[in-house]
Structure 1
């Protein structure tokens, strides 16, 4: 039986260091600092916004969205506050009984602070509605920019993508 050569030992040491380094980088990526209070606040505001959506409550939606809203949609392009409020009103009239709703995908929410402005909310959501007697489900990604101003949280930017 041959004794291990130095090349073999160096290769083993290199592989082990790669495995250790890769696991260490992965552990660091999953251990980012989370501001729990900010996370809880944005999670709450997300539920306020989409409870209003699910209940066709246009007045609450008007309060949650900033009047300088910019909504970037990968398929629909760029729209503003007025265009979105009008679109919600049309959708709500057309879908009174369709079971249309939005749910945040559990475990997908990420929240990041924006110094002297507010927060970024990133996640995935599921939209469902009935069409021709069948439930249609869409899973999409989103990014919301929240501004905290005058003791109120409002969405100023939305990016909806991966449709």
Structure 2
């Protein structure tokens, strides 16, 4: 059945592998790109800066690194905004829990977000002393970092697996 605009079976068999290759290349081009090394290193450095401040209860640095429009989603405590998150942080620091966060090596992933910033995912461990032993838990997180001029701000937080 060869006619204008139609393929014969032998022509189809020859064209099918090329069509499949082109289709797979097109789908690869539309998938989200992995972050370049520079973006990964920038976000990793911001993560370190933020959690150094967290571990030291440096409230001012943490407040500067959070977006004023912060939304913090926690699987157990729900949604909080910037003011609620900062108040909870101040309360934890005043309780002097000795809470320390450590990023799980190899878990960090960073993805660019066009014209906004980056998505960071990973796992982290929080530990604090309780009656002479360390009480630790490992949890997953997602941060959306928004570039504000030359600064990075944590715009959204999703913390889960508690």
TM-score, scaled relative to structure 1: 0.77
Corresponding residue of 1:44: 45
Question: Partners in 2 of 1:117 and 1:66 — Cα distance?
Answer: 13
Q: Determine the structure 1 residue equivalent to 2:101.
A: 102
Q: CA deviation at 1:33?
A: 4.0
In the superposition, relative to structure 1, how do residues 144 and 33 fare at CA in structure 2: closer, same or farther (>3 Å)?
closer
Q: 1:141 to 1:89 in 2, by over 3 A?
A: same
> What secondary structure does 1:106 align onto?
coil
In the TM superposition, what is the alpha-carbon distance from 1:72 to its structure 2 partner?
0.3
Equivalent residues of 2:35, 2:112 under 8 A apart: no
Name the Cα RMSD after superposition. Answer: 1.4
CA drift of 1:132 comes to: 2.2
- Residue in 2 aligned with 1:120? 119
Q: Give CA-to-partner distance per residue, 1:33-84, whole Å, 9 cap, x none.
A: 4400000000000001000000110000001100100000001100000001
Match of 1:159 in 2: 158
**Structure 2 unaligned residues grouped into runs of 5+:** 1-27
For 2:24, the equivalent position in structure 1 comes to none
Tell me which residue corresponds to 1:22. Answer: none
Aligned partner of 1:92 in structure 2 is 93
Residue pairs, 1:11-160, within 5 angstroms: 33-95=34-96, 98-160=97-159
* Runs of 4+ with deviation above 3 angstroms: none
3-state DSSP of counterpart to 2:94 = helix
How far has the Cα of 1:100 moved from its partner?
Answer: 1.6
In structure 1, how many angstroms separate the alpha carbons of the residues matched to 2:103 and 2:68? 24
**What count of residue pairs does the alignment treat as equivalent?**
131
Counterpart-to-counterpart distance in 1, 2:138 and 2:42: 24
For structure 1, list consecutive stretches of 5 or more residues without a partner in the other structure.
1-27
Please name the residue that 1:14 is paired with. Answer: none
**Could you tell me how far 1:99 is from its partner in structure 2?**
3.0
